[in-house]
């Protein structure tokens, strides 16, 4: 499977890239084996709405694209709505991903959840620990598969944050 136009657009023109020094919640997830690392930052208003979100991702084009689309999908949403974000919804929003890149959508989901958990921890909000239970690592197998579409991993670079 070649990458969809949406994947390429979010890779080449990622939205909401950057760090957020005064974030209300920060989540960092990754897998050292395949090298994908995502850091998600959220700002939440008094009504529990995510009004700003940024990310930094070290990884392949699919990791960058899934981070980018995930930020767009949770911006303006309540914390509860953000917690319903699934990797399947991320894949669908990008019009698909190659099978060996599905783990990137899982990372995006996990980064959002980790940022919300951090927000809850900072604010002293009680939550059900099962909500943030660590899942089995879906990255192990997928990270060992070769890239599809003839893309050379050495040609994939992370764009610097734009000011």
Domain count for the chain, please give it. Answer: 1
In a domain, 118, yes or no: yes
Pick the catalytic residue: 79, 97, 104, 106? 104
CATH number at residue 9: 3.90.1010.10
Is 147 within the bounds of a domain?
Answer: no
DSSP string, 3-66: PPHHHHHHHHS-SSBS--TT-SEEEEEEETTTTEEEEEEEEE-TTSBEEEEEEEEES-HHHHHH
Residuewise pLDDT in 10s, the chain (163 residues): 589 999 999 999 999 999 999 999 999 999 766 789 999 999 999 999 999 999 999 999 999 999 999 999 999 999 999 999 999 999 999 999 998 899 899 999 999 999 999 999 999 999 988 888 876 554 444 443 334 444 444 443 334 444 3
In a domain, residue 154? The reply is: no
Catalytic residue, chosen from 7, 29, 34, 94, is: 34
pTM to 2 decimals? 0.81
Domain that holds residue 91: 5-128
Q: Within 10 A of 129 (CB to CB), how many other CB atoms are there?
A: 7
CA distances from 84 to 15, 111, 159 (A): 21, 13, 28
- Residue 104: active-site member: yes
60 is catalytic: no
């Amino acid at each position: 499977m070649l990458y969809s136009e949406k994947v390429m657009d979010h890779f080449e023109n990622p939205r909401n890239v950057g760090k957020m020094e005064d974030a209300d919640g920060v989540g960092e997830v990754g897998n050292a084996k395949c090298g994908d690392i995502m850091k998600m930052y959220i700002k939440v208003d008094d009504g529990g709405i995510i009004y700003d979100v940024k990310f930094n991702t070290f990884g392949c084009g699919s990791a960058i694209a899934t981070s980018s689309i995930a930020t767009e999908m949770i911006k303006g949403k309540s914390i509860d709505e953000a917690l319903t974000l699934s990797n399947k919804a991320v894949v669908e929003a990008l019009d698909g991903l190659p099978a060996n890149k599905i783990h990137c959508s899982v990372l995006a989901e996990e980064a959002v959840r980790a940022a919300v958990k951090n927000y809850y921890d900072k604010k002293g909000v009680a939550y059900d620990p099962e909500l943030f239970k660590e899942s089995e690592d879906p990255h192990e197998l997928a990270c060992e598969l070769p890239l599809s579409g003839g893309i050379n991993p050495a040609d994939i670079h992370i764009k610097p944050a734009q000011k």
